[in-house]
Amino acid sequence: MSQKSVVLYLHVHQPYRVRPYTVFETSQSHDYFNAPSDLSSIDNERLFQKVADKSYRPMNAKLLELLHTHPDFKLSLSITGTFLEQAEQWAPDVLDGFKQLVATGRVEILAETYYHSLAFYYSQTEFIRQVELHSKKINELFGVTPSVFRGTELAYDNSVAQWAEAAGYSGILAEGWDGILDWRSPGYVYRPVGTESIGLLLKNYHLSDDIAFRFSNRAWSEWPLTADKFTHWLHSTDIDAPLVNLFMDYETFGEHQWSDTGIFDFFGNFISTWCDLTDTPFLTVSDAITRHQSVGELDVPHTVTWADSERDLSAWTGNDMQREALRHLYALEHDVIRTDDPQLIADWRKLQASDHVYYMSTKWLSDGDVHAYFSPYDSPYDAFLYYINVIRDLRWRLMKHHNIGRLHG
Amino acid sequence: MNILMLGWELPPHNSGGLGVACYYLARSLARQGSSIDFVVPYSAHHPDSEFMTIHSATRLDPLQRNGLNAYDSDAAEHTSLDKADVNDLQSMRGVQKRYVQYVEQLLQKVTPDVIHAHDWLTMEAGIHAKRLTNAPLVVHVHATEFDRSGERSGNPIVHEIEQQALLIADRIIAVSAITKAIIVQQYNIPADKVEVVHNAIDAEQLSNHTYDLRTYQYLELLRSEGYTVAATITRFTIQKGLTHFMRAAARACEKYDKLVFLLAGDGEQRDELIQLAAEYGIADKVFFTGFVRGKQWRDAYSVADIFVMSSVSEPFGLTALEAAHHDSALIISKQSGVGEVLDSIFRYDFWDTDRLADQMIAIATSPSLSTTLRRNVAREYTRLSWDDVAQKCIAVYQASRIGVAV
């Protein structure tokens, strides 16, 4: 029997996408996220229902079945506030599905920002407010309090870890990127530089991406991936390491990898096979940190994320449009917060989702690989245009509210 | 491979983009080892064309040929080729008949592996050449009668010639997916017979001149005051969609007043456009240059911050690449083929004037958007190459020869 344990962590998120919002609507309509009846428009409800059918409903059912069948099966989830709001509004059954998972006592929920934002890098006060909002929401809906933190997009550096420890978290997650690990294995718990006790878990991106990205790729030399093959890899990777951290989007199952690729069957077989082969097949993130001592200190002065080959923030802040959009948005913080207007504050916060600036990324264009570009918009320029029009409208509302100030273009 | 190429013009005796495209295509084909006999309907000296053999079908000088106006099919009389008078070189049909006869004679001396005919002007000659030689016919469509006639039905004779040639051709090359769609839908040609081969642009095609700030001094002063210049450089015909552009200009000014519009060119819609500008109350913001050439033409690109291609139907639209070269941000109608080879542009449906207005305002008010668009599109147009176009054409020739005895 193997002594290795898998730490499976899935990220659940849907943003409120900005609908095609024109300059002629600024100062007229303040409804940025709900599409008119026009079918060609970006419609968050329709998109949510689509993903619910393809991923949330079947995967929740699959997970619940596996939890019932295998008493040793455990996993961890991060669920954003914007996802929970949409589920409450449009798919209460999906929310119930998650509640059932958590009620088994073997599904841990992580802490993060409510709005899936990169606020840590723009406003600490706003960042902390969003983490608190998220924790409160999780407690209301699931009756649990998160104790392990994950940054949006798995953004991590020493300062995030230091903040998380000070805020009372026992653990934190990051990408197990070669640039920070060097010769080390991601299969151990580490201690971040400048902290005393918080445990750092690092994603094994090779094995995670075998499922998340390569599973259905017929050009991949290992296609088709089977449960036997995959569990064999789990055993043979870093043979002495106690952990294999598989971190990925929840939507991998059914949405990124469609049902007809066999992803659900593979997942079920993998869980069953692994449970039969190992003493402690699965640990939640807290279990992993409690059971395993840190093997050493890890220094990450520069921010790493789980995106792109660069593993930095460039997918969100790499071009001038993205930086300008974020600058304009966070410049409004003080005036937005002091309105005490819940609707206005919520709108401003929904615009902080990292997704918005991701849609403005032009990295794909320069690679000539537009098809890799995942966005509801025709182009990054369209994404920017609608977003800036919304910023204009926010300015207009602030001007009206405070009865002072200027629109600035 | 021996190519018999049937064209209507070559630089410097061209009145538009067709001649330029033919020249650079032929040059790249020759560089890749093809031997080209190129037929034109006039007699003139063609500098820098040693890479091919140019044949003159008539003794007309290029200016007389230009008088026939290849771009306005209305000028073609409604005559079938049988009835055309081969001695009447004042008429398009007469010249075309002479062109066909010349090609027939030429084929006694040359033996092509493939016949490559450009647009309706030479399609009849292409059909005759195919009958005489049994060599495969490739018809290259740079524009159809549907594009030229805008919203009107067009010249029935021209349409008939296109229809026949598209049916008889072994393979068809379309300059864009838009043009392919027209060929498939309007002429009922099977889609798998039509290959899309986009045009390219050559660095030397692009005007490398020193911008003279004095040419559009007034506009430059406005720019220094923070105004943004949105320009279009084109013929003022229905095909170009300029009335929609004018409406968008008016809509944009409702929201943002530091915009001015440069309409460089001339054409049948000029008076209508001037009247529209006044009707919309933006007459002081719209600048009509009249017909521009030389320095005025080149400098119009340089003064533009935004280049708008508002065409209702544009098979390709080389001017957009010229604008990209001059560091303009591009807004291109979805009905323009050039948009298919560029990523870093704004797209809109030609009738969606609010969208166009929105896009112009966004560029005018956001330096980062403007910079990103301009920087990225510059990288994209330089990727295009005539050598790639020639390679694709050779692949089409090879496909056309399958099944033909060689």
Instruction: Kindly report which listed range (A364-373, B286-295, B305-314, B378-387) carries the lowest average pLDDT score.
Output: A364-373
The strands making up A148-149's β-sheet, listed across from edge to edge, are A148-149, A171-175, A199-203, A189-192, A294-298
Contact assessment for residue A139 and residue A98, using Cβ atoms and an 8 Å cutoff: no
**B179 and B288 co-located in one domain:** no
Position A406 confidence tier, pLDDT thresholds 50, 70, 90: low
Write the secondary structure of B186-233 as one string of H (helix), E (strand) and C (coil): HCCCCHHHEEECCCCCCHHHCCCCCCCCCCCHHHHHHHHCCCEEEEEE
Position A370 confidence tier, pLDDT thresholds 50, 70, 90: very low
Mutant choice from B254, B341, B343, B353 vs A, greatest count of A C-beta within 10 A: B343
**A321/B371 Cα distance (integer angstroms):** 9
What DSSP character marks residue A225? P
Q: Is the pLDDT of residue B17 over 90?
A: no
Task: Tell me the pLDDT tens digit for each residue of A142-191.
Answer: 999 999 999 999 999 999 999 999 999 999 999 999 999 999 999 999 99
Position A375 confidence tier, pLDDT thresholds 50, 70, 90: confident
**B196 and B63 co-located in one domain:** yes
Contact B369 A366 (CB under 8 A): no
**B157 and B270 co-located in one domain:** no
The CATH architecture that domain A5-298 belongs to is Alpha-Beta Barrel (3.20)
**Domain containing B54 — which CATH number?**
3.40.50.2000
Task: Tell me the pLDDT tens digit for each residue of B216-227.
Answer: 999 999 999 999
**B142 and B240 co-located in one domain:** no
Tell me the percentage of chain A whose pLDDT exceeds 70. Answer: 95
Q: How many domains does chain B have?
A: 2
Task: Tell me the pLDDT tens digit for each residue of A191-222.
Answer: 999 999 999 999 999 999 999 999 999 999 99
Cα–Cα distances in angstroms (integers) from residue B60 to residues B83, B100, B310, in the given order:
21, 15, 36
Contacts of B109 (CB under 8 A, 6+ apart): none
Please tell me whether the overall predicted TM-score, pTM, comes out greater than 0.80 for this model: yes
Nearest to B6 by CA among B93, B94, B112, B123: B123
**B191 and B274 co-located in one domain:** no
How far A362 CA lies from chain B's nearest CA (Å)? 8
Give pLDDT, residue A372: 52
Instruction: Kindly report which listed range (A284-293, A372-381, B227-236) carries the lowest average pLDDT score.
Output: A372-381
Q: Is residue B374 part of a domain?
A: yes
Mean of the per-residue pLDDT values of chain A? 94
Contact assessment for residue B65 and residue B47, using Cβ atoms and an 8 Å cutoff: no
Asked if A40 has any chain B CB less than 8 Å from its own CB, the reply is no
Give pLDDT, residue B152: 63
Give pLDDT, residue B405: 42
Contact assessment for residue A95 and residue A138, using Cβ atoms and an 8 Å cutoff: no
Identify the H or E element spanning A391: helix A380-402
Can you tell me the mean pLDDT for B292-303? Answer: 88
**A79/B94 Cα distance (integer angstroms):** 76
How far B333 CA lies from chain A's nearest CA (Å)? 14
Mean of the per-residue pLDDT values of chain B? 91
How far A196 CA lies from chain B's nearest CA (Å)? 43
**B175 and B304 co-located in one domain:** no
From its phi and psi, is residue A194 left (phi > 0), alpha (psi between -120 and 50) or beta?
Answer: left
**B259 and B178 co-located in one domain:** no
> A108-137 as b/e, with b when 16 or more CB fall inside 10 Å?
bbbbbbbbbbbbbbbbeebbebbbeebbeb
Tell me the percentage of chain B whose pLDDT exceeds 70. Answer: 94
**B183 and B210 co-located in one domain:** no
**B174 and B227 co-located in one domain:** no
Mutant choice from B368, B374, B388 vs A, greatest count of A C-beta within 10 A: B368
Q: Is the pLDDT of residue B75 over 60?
A: no
Give pLDDT, residue A42: 87
User: In this structure, what is the dihedral angle of CA atoms A262, A265, A266, A268, given to the nearest 10 degrees?
Assistant: 160
Of A22, A321, A385, the CB nearest to B354: A22
B296: containing domain: 205-381
Higher-scoring residue by pLDDT: B212, B308: B308
Q: Is residue B98 part of a domain?
A: yes
Q: Is the pLDDT of residue B126 over 90?
A: yes
Tokens 């029935």 correspond to what residue?
B156
Contacts of A367 (CB under 8 A, 6+ apart): none
Asked if A365 has any chain B CB less than 8 Å from its own CB, the reply is yes
**B303 and B283 co-located in one domain:** yes
Q: Is residue B406 part of a domain?
A: no
Give pLDDT, residue A363: 83
Contact A24 B251 (CB under 8 A): yes
Q: Which of the residues of A are catalytic?
A: 153
Contact assessment for residue A87 and residue A94, using Cβ atoms and an 8 Å cutoff: yes
**A113/A131 Cα distance (integer angstroms):** 4
Q: Is the pLDDT of residue B77 over 80?
A: no
Give pLDDT, residue B150: 66
The strands making up A107-109's β-sheet, listed across from edge to edge, are A107-109, A75-79, A5-12, A243-249
Contact assessment for residue B42 and residue B121, using Cβ atoms and an 8 Å cutoff: no
Task: Tell me the pLDDT tens digit for each residue of B133-188.
Answer: 999 999 999 999 988 876 566 888 999 999 999 999 999 999 999 999 999 999 99
**B17 and B119 co-located in one domain:** yes
Give pLDDT, residue A114: 98
Task: Tell me the pLDDT tens digit for each residue of A90-146.
Answer: 999 999 999 999 999 999 999 999 999 999 999 999 999 999 999 999 999 999 999
Interface confidence: ipTM more than 0.90: no
Angle subtended at Cα B257 by Cα B252 and Cα B258, rounded to the nearest 5 degrees: 110
Structure tokens at A393: 């409208």
Residues of A in contact with B343 (CB under 8 A): 365, 370, 379
Nearest to A261 by CA among A214, A221, A228, A222: A214
**B181 and B308 co-located in one domain:** no
Cα–Cα distances in angstroms (integers) from residue B366 to residues A359, B228, B329, B362, in the given order:
17, 11, 12, 6
